[in-house]
Structure 1
Amino acid sequence: MSPNAEVGRRAVLKVPVVVGAGLAISRTPRASAETARWSPERAHRWHRAQGWLVGANFIPANAINQLEMFQPGTFDPRRIDTELRMAKHLGLNTVRVFLHDLLWVQDRAGFQRRLARFVDIAAHHRIKPLFVLFDSCWDPHPRLGTQRGPVPGVHNSGWVQSPGAEHLGDPAYRRVLRDYVIGVISQFRHDKRVLGWDLWNEPDNPADVYRAVERRDKVERVAELLPQVFGWARSVDPVQPLTSGVWDGEWGDPARRSAVVRTQLDLSDVISFHSYADPKGFEDRLAELTPLGRPMLCTEYMARTLDSTVESILPIMKRRNIGAYTWGFVAGKTQTFLPWDSWERPVLDPPLWFHDLLHGDGSPYRAGEVTTIRELTGRNRPN
């Protein structure tokens, strides 16, 4: 997801709650002493119960962004079912899925029905989603409705931030964000088919490719808002852990961590991080996080041209029991098989795919990657 990684290191309320296909009304719990951050012991108990988590960042090939994936009219449960069946066949047991606050604004009841449908489909394939609520990457001006088509030759040309720039610093919109967080998490707070809540993707990513239209005070506003998001989520007291993944800057030395990184590492139940580094760089990052004494999820890896590959990185995570999510699954409208720098130099047919594992028909980009995943997950063993 991180175009800048290549440069930098390359009100409690009643809400409708959907359960399966039906609607029910649930009262959101109030914050209490029992809704504190999980202890390391609780986090490790949860982690052991999951087994080794292996998955991918998931958006169906026919959606260009979070809005197109979940809006009415373009939500495609048949395609989602097809691709998650592919994931199960490959040996994956989890997917990381991005949501958006505007979907809540547009039609919260319909959005919740579609979310419930997604969870039902995933559970049918024994796949647990890790839901991402906010995202600071790419276009800071999201719009509901028909989404633009992909820009030929450009990586992730239609992805949008949540919340957008116009709402990020708007005090009047803060209640909407709060209702969205509490409403979505409350819907699944007791549902163990949902893996967890990744509250904000790369919150301090400056989205340099959109620097001309990006907020100059974005990181400051995010730094103010992120602890509140954790507080809103924590007040629901879900059975799933909360996290937000570090991706850049200093992680190991507390005195040198940014305000955003401190919030992420101090408030997350399980530690999540992104690394597109080669094996040595990846191990170095693990050394920064291991002393925290909590389970770890690498929620983004795999950039083939940077020597972050399935064959070189996934065995490290298997050995260390770290949850592993490739960026991308089936190549499609996001075009994330193209490199980050295609924003400056578009390329239609790269000599080597950057992200993504499968072609649109489900065939592997590299057979060896599929073999490695299936072997490491035990998918090759007889049932």
Structure 2
Amino acid sequence: MTTIRTFLAVAVANNWAIEQLDINNAFLHGDLEEEVYMVLPPGFQNSKPNQVCKLMRSLYGLKQASRQWNAKLTKALQNMGFSQSSADPSLFTKQTCSSFMALLIYVDDILVAGTDSIQIQALKQLLDNAFKIKDFGNLNYFFGIEAFRTPKGINLCQRKYTLDILQEYGFLEAKPAPTPSVCGQKLNSSEGNLLEYPEDYRRLVGKLLYLTNTRPDITYSVQQLSQFVDKPRDSHLMAGHMVLRYLKGSPGKGIFYSSNNYLRLQGFSDSDWASCIESRKSLTGYCVYLGDSLISWKTKKQVTVSRSSSEAEYRALASTTCELQWLLYLLADLRVEIIKPVALFCDCSSAIAIGENHVFHERTKHIEIDCHVVRQKIQEGVLKLLSITSQNQTADGFTKALSKPLFDRFHAKLGLPKGSLEIKNNKG
């Protein structure tokens, strides 16, 4: 999804045409490399007993089907002059002297963007001749995400998906909550009673996880809920219901990518030290902007226990550094030139010192070597660590539950539209 968001942010900023298409019966186009036999379908078994079918082409349900289809499509695109991205194999690009075209694949759904609409139409014709496609025209609805483009930019939201969740769990008429989680609340695995039907909770968490693709404001809350899917309790379900009540107040909210955007990469990294009351592991939170467009964010528990807040912040910096380096590779494939060094903001001066100073041996000798990727990228001139106050730290909302005033500030920094859409009836 980060690749998709980056793809759209770059396309909108460069005023590229964005179109969508679908391959008919994609898995049936795959070529089998080994002999595969199938039991005769119902109706043929009685007429031809003790016989089986030898498959000449791929079928839906085969383990090999998705891989063989991907190989077939990749080969076809490469024969058309496209180059496959090393940063993300689902991205293909084609550069000519007069045009540039980028193509993003998700199984059988394809997004095409480029500088020349004639070249895009020619590509569609080639794909239709090879596989038979459905042409959906300009980007409108894909992967459950609604895209609305205007001359000012493109807005991405999951309003229909959100309304379906609210209807399924009976929250269409619920009272909206001002924030997705209670400030200072720490969920654990011992308080409350075990749920009789844990499948409902797991299904809810799965749906909310997909909703975070366009709703960064609920990322922290959903991350907390996802830790208890093995043995959920009623306290966890209540916390999930608060997220639903928050979504009830603004089901159509999403992210906006402006067409008037200077493509400058910058990141924000933060950590909440020993926030897990059971394991005492810290929480990493980061977000990355391409100009004014938020393209990447994450909330994740760190894999080891940090001995100090500085170490926790430094581990968060390492995770953000890896994300920034990968995005630089991805943007290079999209022919976007990023001015280096990339600014990475952190509100911990000691973590910045660890990244820039080799003298802190006694304090850092226990930290894993892979964390020192931060130092390496600073020395290579890839990024520059900059200090920022905690009040201005955008990533703060990805590491903890905030009060209403602080959450509103965090919400505004994400670039999400203001206001809310009350649901008056079941039709929304």
- For CA contacts below 8 A with separation 6 or more, give which structure has more relative contact order: 1
Bigger strand share: 2
TM-score by length of 1: 0.27
TM-score by length of 2: 0.25
The structure number with the bigger radius of gyration is 2
